[in-house]
Chain A
Amino acid sequence: MAKPLHLGFLYAPQSGYQTHDENFDPLNPVHLTTFARDLEGAGFAFLLIDDSVGRTEPARSEAFTTASFLATRTRHIGLIAAANTSYVEPYNVTRLAASLDHVTHGRAGWLVSTGVVDPAGANYGQTAVAPAVHYERASEILDIARRLWDSWEDGAFIRDKQSGVFVDGSKIHPIDHVGASFSVKGPLNVARPPQGQVIVAHRVADERSAEFAGRHADIAILAAETAGDIAALRDNVLAAARGARRDEQHVLLFAEIVSVIGPDHAAGAPKAPVAHYVSGTPTEIADQIEALANAVTLDGLVVAPRVVRSSPDAFSRDVIPELARRQRLRSGDRSGTLRERLGLARPGNIFEHKAPEPASTAA
C-alpha cells in the first residue's frame, strides 16, 4: 500500500481560482483566526498562504503579515507564506522568512513564486521580463537566502551576563554574495531560524518550475490534471534533484487537488486552469484520492478548494475522517517543527566546521 499522506491547504481567495463565501472576510482577523484554527484541528500539517502583487481583487492581506498574525493564533499548523522573487529584495524576504520561523517556533515556510505566474511589473516600474530571467533571479535569491539563514551559527549567542560576552563573533559570517542580479554582503540580522533552514515550497506546473523545485524546494506542489501528468511532473522534479546532487528523499512531493463537494458545485466558483479535480460524495472523493495515491507515489496532498468557507469545510468534516479510517493519512506527533512533522532533518550549517582547526593542544 502507498505511504500515508500529509495534508496541506492552499489559501488563495480572489486569486482567480478560489473565492470565499459571503460570511468569510479575508481581511477580518477574527475570521482568519477561526479559519486557521479549524484547519489545525482537522489535522492539516500546513497552510499555504498564497500572495499576489498583481491586479487582483483587493480582498486579502499580504502573506507574511498574515502568517505572522496567525503564528500567535495557532499552535501546531505549519504556516507557509508566499513571496514573489521577482519583486522583492533578497535581504528583506530572507529576514521575513527567518523571523516567521522564530515567531512560530519552527513552523514556517516560504512558498516561492516568480513573476512568471503573476506578472505585476506595472506596479514596480518593470518592463516585461522573459520567464527565464524570472527563474534565474529566483534561483539566485534562493542561494542568497540559504547562506543568510546560516550566517549566524546556532551557537553564536553567548549571552553570558557574568563576563559580558553577548555573541561569539567568529560564529557570525558575512556571505559576500556577488551574482548576476544581486550583491549581498551579509550577515543577516536575525538569529538562525529554529528549523535551521526555513521550509521552501514551490508550485510545479511545467519543466521550468520542476527544475527549480528539484534544485531548491523541500516541498514540490505538483499541479496537473491527470494522474499521468502528475507522475510526469514528479519524475521531472526528482530528475532535477538528482541533477543538483540532492537526496531524492529531501524533496517531498505533494499533488494539488481541487475538491468540489456539495455547495461548491454552485455556479460562480472559479475553475483552476490546470488541476486534479476530485468531486462527488465524501466516499467518492476518498476513492478518487486513493486511486491517485495508488497511481503516483506521493508524500501528501495540497487541498485547494474552490471556495473558502467561514465554517469548517466539507473536506475537513467528511473526507478527512474517511481517509483516516482507510489509514491513508499520516497521524502522529504534531507538536514539533514543520520539518519534524514532515520527517525532514534539520540541516547542518554550511559555515560550521570551516574555521581552521586550533593548533594541536598538547597537554
Chain B
Amino acid sequence: MSKRELHFGLMFWAGGTHPSGWRYPSSHAGAAFDIEFLQRVTQLVEAAKFDFLFLGDRLASDPSLQTTNPSQMSRLEPFVSGASLAAATSHIGIVVTANPTYYDPYNLARMFASLDHLSQGRASWNLVTGADEIAAGNFSRQSHWDTERRYDWADEFVAVVRGLWDSDAITPLHHKGRYFDVAGPLNVKRPPQGHPVILHAGTSDRSRELGARDADVIFASQATIESAKAYYADVKSRASKYGRRDSDIAILPGLTPVVAETTEKAVEIFDHLNSFIALEPDGDGGEASRYGSLGRMGKRRNLTAVSIAIGVDVAGQDRDAPVDPLVLAEANADGQRLFADVTRLTRRDVKGPNRLTYRDLIIGHIGTGAVVVGDPNEVADHIQHWFDEKAADGFNIFPPYVPESVEAFTSLVIPELQRRGLYRTDYSGSTFRDHLGLAKPAPILSSASSL
C-alpha cells in the first residue's frame, strides 16, 4: 500500500467563508459573479497542487442571510462556473454540488459526463440531499422531504446515474425501480474517469451509509478532533461491508485556517475579521428565527445567548471589558469548552497579560466548524495531528476572506507540509481520480434495476 498522503480541497464561497469575510479590506466583495476572479483563485490552488475546487450550492435564496451568510445568498450555477473553471485550468478536480432531491438522473448523468469530457477527467459530483426547506417552494413541492424519503430517492438515483455512465447501445440500462423508469442509454460517451468522483456531505445515519457505499470523498463537518475521529472510524467501518478498503474513501473535514508569518499577526487578522460581525443587543437569547430555515438557525450574537450557553449570567456586561475570572470558575462544561476554544484561537485568557473580553465570548459562541489560528508551523501541526490521529485524510479548506487567505495558506502552509513529506509536490496524474489514487472503475454491466 502506498504511503498515506494529505488531500486538500478549496471550499469556495467567493466572498469568503467568514460571515464578514467580504468586508475585509482586501476582499473582492463582488467575487461571486466575477468568473475571471474565480479562475484566478482556482489557478492559485492548482499551483499549490490542491486535489479539488469545491463549488457548494443552494437551491433558494433569502435576503435575510446578509448578516449571517452573505456568500450563501446567490452564486453562479455550479455546472456553469465549473465548466468555465475547467476551461482555465488543467489538473485540479472540479466539484459541482448537485442535489438529487430536485434533479433528474438522466439530466444529471449527462451534465457530469459532459463536464468530465470537457475537463478531461476532472469532474466530480458533490451529492447532497439538500439543506434548504424553502427549496421545495421553487420546485413545485409542498414541502422538503424527510431524511428517509430523500435518501431512499438518492440511493436509487445514484445507482441510475452510475448505470447511465456505463450504458451503451448494447447495454442501454432499462432501469425500472421504485422512483425511476429510465430506458437509456446515455447519449454522451462514457466519461474519461469511468465514473466522475463522487463526494458526499451529510450528518445523518442514512448519509453515513450512502457515503460508505458510494462516496470517494466525504466532506465532513466535525469541529473537534474527538468527534471527527469517531465519525472517521464509523464511516470507514461501514465501508468494509460494501467490499471497500479504508483507502477507497478520503474523509475531509472542513477547516478554516487563519495563518500569517507570525502568531501575533494571525491573531490580529482573526480579530480584524471578527470586528466586522454585527453584534446584537442583549435581551433575547433564543435562536434567531430565519425565514424558511435556509441554512443553520443562527445563534443570537449577544451576551444573553452566551449566558444561556455557559450557565453564568453575563448579560449587560461591557463587551470590551476583560472577563472576570469568576465567570470561568462558575461556567458549566460547555462554558469551559468555550473558554478553552477562545483561548486557543485568540491566545487570550482570563489571567495573564492578554485578557479575553466579553466580545470574544460572543464571537466564540457563534463560531462553527474547525478553526485554527497561527503561524505556518502551528497550522501545519494542527493538520498533521488530525491526519496522524485518523480524524482526517485531508481537509476542505474554508478561506475566510478571499483571495488573501488562500494566498497565505498556499504560500505558507503548503510548503511546510511538503517539507514534512505529508503533501505532494506535484500531481502524479491529470485526472481527479489520479490525485486520489483511485483506479478507473470497470463498467457495471448488470442493470441498475436490481436495487
List A residues at the B interface (Cβ < 8 Å).
27-29, 32, 52-62, 64-66, 68-73, 87-89, 91-92, 95-96, 98-100, 102-103, 122-125, 152, 157, 159, 161, 164-167, 169, 172, 181-191
Contact = CB atoms under 8 A, between A and B. Distances in A.
Contact of B70 (A96, A166, A190): A166
A103 B187 contact: no
B181 A125 contact: yes
Nearest to B60: A189
Interface stretch (B103-111, B329-337, B372-380, B387-395): B103-111
B74 interface: yes
B139 A103 contact: no
A55 B102 contact: no
Interface stretch (B21-29, B208-216, B318-326): B21-29
Contacts of A172: 61, 63
Given A29-B86, A122-B183, A189-B60, 13 more contacts: A53-B106, A61-B118, A68-B87, A96-B80, A100-B80, A102-B80, A124-B182, A159-B22, A161-B27, A164-B278, A172-B61, A181-B140, A189-B75
B182 A64 contact: no
Nearest to B83: A68
Contacts of B23: 161, 164
| Contact size range, B | 35 or more
A69 B134 CA distance: 31
B182 A189 contact: no
Contacts of A124: 104, 106, 182
A184 B139 CA distance: 6
A72 B69 CA distance: 29
Nearest to B57: A189
A126 to B, nearest CB: 9
B161 interface: no
B76 A102 contact: yes
Contacts of B30: 157, 159
B39 interface: yes
A182 B102 CA distance: 13
B157 interface: no
Interface string B114-125: 110111100000
Given A72-B88, A161-B29, A189-B75, A61 B80 contact: no
B276 A52 contact: no
Interface in B319-360: none
Contacts of A191: 32-33, 74
B70 to A, nearest CB: 4
Interface of B: 20, 22-23, 25, 27, 29-30, 32-33, 35, 39, 58-61, 63-64, 66-67, 70, 73-77, 79-84, 86-88, 102-104, 106-107, 110-111, 113-115, 117-120, 134, 137-140, 168, 180-189, 276, 278
A89 B114 contact: no
B66 A99 contact: no
19 contacts: A27-B118, A29-B86, A53-B106, A55-B187, A61-B118, A65-B79, A68-B84, A69-B83, A69-B84, A72-B84, A73-B87, A89-B102, A96-B79, A99-B77, A164-B23, A166-B70, A189-B61, A190-B76, A191-B74
Contact of B118 (A29, A55, A96, A99): A29
B39 A187 contact: no
A58 B168 contact: yes
Contacts of A187: 61
A189 B87 contact: no
A103 B185 contact: no
B401 to A, nearest CB: 11
Given A61-B117, A89-B102, A161 B22 contact: yes
Contacts of B70: 166-167
B35 A103 contact: yes
B116 to A, nearest CB: 9
Given A161-B25, A182-B140, A72 B104 contact: no
A66 B114 contact: yes
B182 A99 contact: no
Contacts of A102: 33, 35, 76, 80
A210 to B, nearest CB: 28
A26 B89 CA distance: 20
Nearest to B142: A183
Contact of B74 (A55, A69, A189): A189
Contact of B134 (A60, A71, A185): A185
B133 to A, nearest CB: 12
A184 B140 CA distance: 6
A336 B157 CA distance: 42
A57 B76 contact: no
A167 B77 CA distance: 19
A52 B110 CA distance: 10
Given A29-B120, A91-B59, A56 B187 contact: yes
Given A60-B188, A183-B137, A166 B66 contact: yes
B110 A62 contact: yes
A27 B70 CA distance: 37
B272 to A, nearest CB: 12
Contact of A103 (B81, B115, B120): B81
Contact of B188 (A32, A61, A64): A61
Nearest to A73: B87
Residue among B25, B103, B107, B189 with most chain A CB within 10 A: B107
A293 B185 CA distance: 43
Nearest to B71: A166
Nearest to B184: A123
Given A122-B183, A185-B138, A62 B188 contact: yes
Given A70-B87, A99-B80, A188-B61, A65 B118 contact: yes
